[in-house]
Structure 1
Amino acid sequence: MPSFSQLSALLLLPAAISAVTFDCKHIRAGGKDFNFEKLGGPKEVNYQQLTAPSITNTTFTIDVCKPLPRSKEKDKSKEECPTGTRVCGVERIYEDDQTLVREVIPIAGEYGTSNGRHLNAKVTRLKDSESNSDSEREGVRAELEGGLWEKKSQKAIIEFICDADWEGTEGFEDSKKMDVSSYGSMKKREDEEGDGDDEDDDNRELPDLDKGKALQFKSYKEEKDDTGVLRLEWKTKYACEDAADKPPSEGRKRGSWGFFTWFLIIVFLLAAAYIIFGSWLNYNRYGARGWDLLPHGDTIRDLPYIVKDLSSSMMDKLKGSGSRGGYSAV
C-alpha cells in the first residue's frame, strides 16, 4: 500500500510537470496567473549581421505552447531542429545567388528521450526581480533550457511585457523573409549607388524584417558558463496582471452560444432520425407511399390549416378583449 509521502508526490506531480514543461494556459508567477494560449503557434524573429561580402541572417522560431512542427520533406528536415524543440535558430548565409544553411541551433526544448536534456522552465514575475529597472515593469520572464549546440548549453529568456495596446500576435501575418532575391536586389542597388568599397559594405543598412512585430529580438551571445543565451521581448496584453485577474466574459458568451447551438443540432438530428425511421417502417410494414410514408402524415399535411385556424382564433380573442363590456345597443 503506498505511503502518505508517495500519495503526496503523486498529487503534486501534475503541478510539477506543468511548471517544468511550461504550460502556456496555466502560468503562475509571484502569486499571479497568466494565460498565453493566444500567443501559441510558430513565431519568427531575425538577427542579421553584415559579413562582407555576404549577409548572415539567423531566424529564431518559437512556439511557447508546444514543440515546433517538423517538415515531412527530407530536404527541409535537415534545416530544422530535432523533435521536441520549442525555440530553434537557423543561420543562413546569403551571397550572390546562393543561400547556405550554416548552422541549426536548438535553443530550448524537451529532449528527454534523445539526450536526457529537459526544458526546465523557470517563470518569474518582473515586479519580483532584484533589478530596479525590472521591478518597475509589469510582466513575466520565462527561461527555457534544454538546447545543446557545439557541446555548449543553450537557453532562451523571453520577457513578456504588459502592453494593453498589443495583442501579441501583430506583425506575423505579412512577415518578411530574407531570401536570395531580396539580397540580390539590395546588392544591385548598392552597386548602382556606391563605388563598391569594403567600407561601404560594412555600413550597409539591412532591411528590418521584424518591423511591427510584437516579438522582438534583443540579443544572442554567450553568457556565464559559456551558455548561449537568446533574449527576446514580447509585448502583449496577456502579460498584464489586471487582465489575468478578470474572468473571460467573451469566452462565457461563446460557451453559452455553443450550448444552444449543440442543443438545436441534437434536436434536429433526433427529429430527422424519427422521420427517417418512421418512413422506413411505414414503407416496409404497410407499403405506404407519398404523404403516408411520413409518421403522422395527416397531421403534417393539415399543419398549414391548423396554424391558420389557431391564428384566426387568437385574433378573434384579441378583438373580443378590446371591445367594451356591458349591453350592446339595439
Structure 2
Amino acid sequence: MNYLRLILFIATVCAIDISNKHLKPYDLDKIVGLHEVTTELETPPSITKSVWYLNIYDSQDKDGKDKMDVENCPEDSQICGITEVLLNGKDPVVSEVVAFSRNLKPSIEANDNNVTVQLTGAYWGKQSISADIVFECSKDGDYDKELLELVGWNRQQLELRIKSKAACTSDNKGKKDDKHKDKDNDKDGKHDPDSDGSWGWFTWFFILGVIGFAAYIIGTAWLNVSSRGSSNEAFSEFFDAVVEVLSRIPGFLKELAGKIFGGSNRGGYSAV
C-alpha cells in the first residue's frame, strides 16, 4: 500500500508522549526533549521576538521530563510561545504568552510521509486556539534536535513542523518474533495452521469411530434378526438397538461441536 491514511482519536493525558502505542512505529524517541524556534520582527523602535517551545517526552523513561521548565511558561504546557518586546537599554517586556496544556486530548493523523498531532480545546484569553504539530519524514541527515520550524501562527491556529528521520517508520519496530506469535496465544489474532490441522485429524478420527460403532451395533442387531427369523422379539431387539444409536447422536454432535469450535474461539486484538 503506497498511501496509508489513519485518523486515530486517543484518550490520553499527554499530548506528545512517544510511548503512546500509536506513535510506536516511528522513531520519535530519537528526538525526545525540549525543542524551540525563534523568530524576530523589526517593529521600530523595538524588536519583537517570539520563541515557541515544544516538549516531547517518553512517560516510560523514569528520567523523562513532562514539565515545561521555561520561564513564563506554565509547567503543564506541552507547547508554549513567549513574545517579548526588546528596546535598546531596557529589559525585555513579555507581551504575550500562549500555552497548550499537556492535558489536552490529541488526535493523530498518520500517512506514509508524516505524522500530525492536532490539539484543540485550548484558550488564549477568550479566544479558542488549536495547534498542528507535523512530524515530517526525512531520510537525509542525522537525528538532530534543532529541527523545530514555525510554519504559521495567526492567533487562532498554530502550526509547527519537525522534519527528521525520527518521523519515518522503523522497519524493525513491531515486527520482532512475528513468526512465533501464532504459537504464543494468538497475539496477532490468527490461528496456527498446524494447530488447526491437528484438530481436523482428531475430528475425522472421532467421526469415523462413531460411525464404525453405530455400524457395529446396527449390524449385530440385524444379524440377530436374520438368525432368528422375523419374530416379534427379534424385531424388537433390532428396533431397540437403532433407537439406542439414535439417542446417542445428540451427545455426539454436542461433543463434536465442542471439539471443532472450542479450540478456535480465541480472541485477536483490535488495531486501535
Query: So what's the TM-score if we normalise by structure 2?
Result: 0.51
Corresponding residue to 2:94 among 85, 88, 101: 101
Could you say if the C-alpha distance between residues 216 and 70 of structure 1 is closer, same or farther in structure 2, counting changes exceeding 3 Å?
closer
Aligned-pair CA distance for 1:47 = 2.6
Q: Is 1:143–2:118 an aligned residue pair? A: yes
1:80 correspondence with 2:72: yes
1:158 aligned residue: 133
Two-structure CA RMSD over aligned residues (Å): 2.7
CA change 1:27–1:48 in 2 (3 A) is farther
Instruction: Tell whether 2:25 aligns with 1:26.
Output: no
Runs (5+) with no aligned partner, structure 1: 1-14, 72-78, 111-117, 128-137, 172-213, 223-227, 249-330
**Residue pairs, 1:219-298, within 5 angstroms:** 219-222=152-155, 228-241=156-169, 244-247=170-173
- Give the deviation of 1:63 after TM superposition: 0.5
Q: Hey, what's the Cα distance between the residues in 1 that align with 2:136 and 2:75?
A: 29
Query: What SS is found at the alignment partner of 1:28?
Result: helix
Matches within 5 A, 1:25-104: 25-28=19-22, 33-65=25-57, 67-70=66-69, 79-98=71-90, 99-104=92-97
CA displacement, residues 138-195 of structure 1 (integer Å, 9 cap, x when unaligned): 1111112453212112232111111112444344xxxxxxxxxxxxxxxxxxxxxxxx
Task: Judge conservation of contact 1:90–1:105 (CA < 8 Å) in 2.
Answer: yes
User: What's the secondary structure of 1:33's corresponding residue?
Assistant: coil
Aligned length in residues: 158
Which aligned pairs between 1:186-201 and structure 2 lie closer than 5 A?
A: none
Contact 2:82 2:97 in 1 (8 A): yes
Write the distance in 2 (CA, Å) between the matches of 1:236 and 1:56.
29
Q: What CA distance in whole angstroms lies between the structure 2 residues aligned with 1:144 and 1:67?
A: 17
Identical-pair percentage: 25
Per-residue CA deviations over 1:95-115 (Å, capped at 9, x if unaligned) read 112211112211x223xxxxx
Contact kept, 8 Å, 2:85 with 2:95, in 1: the verdict is yes
Q: CA deviation at 1:16?
A: 4.8
- Partner of 2:18: helix, strand, or coil? coil
* Inter-CA distance 19–238: structure 2 relative to 1 (3 Å threshold): farther
AA aligned opposite 1:147: A
**In 2, are the aligned partners of 1:123 and 1:143 still within 8 Å (CA)?**
yes
Which residue type is aligned with residue 123 of structure 1?
A: I
Which amino acid counterpart does residue 92 of structure 1 have in structure 2?
E
Distance across 2 between alignment mates of 1:22 and 1:164? 22
Cα distance in structure 2, aligned partners of 1:19 and 1:100: 33
Q: TM-score, normalised by structure 1?
A: 0.43
1:120 aligns with 2:105: yes
Whole-angstrom CA distance in 2 between matches of 1:18 and 1:149: 22
The structure richer in helix per residue is 1
Q: Which has the larger radius of gyration?
A: 2
Unaligned runs of 5+ in 2: 1-8, 58-64, 175-272
| CA deviation string 1:108-142 (max 9, x = no partner) | 223xxxxxxx4121111145xxxxxxxxxx11111
1:274 maps to none
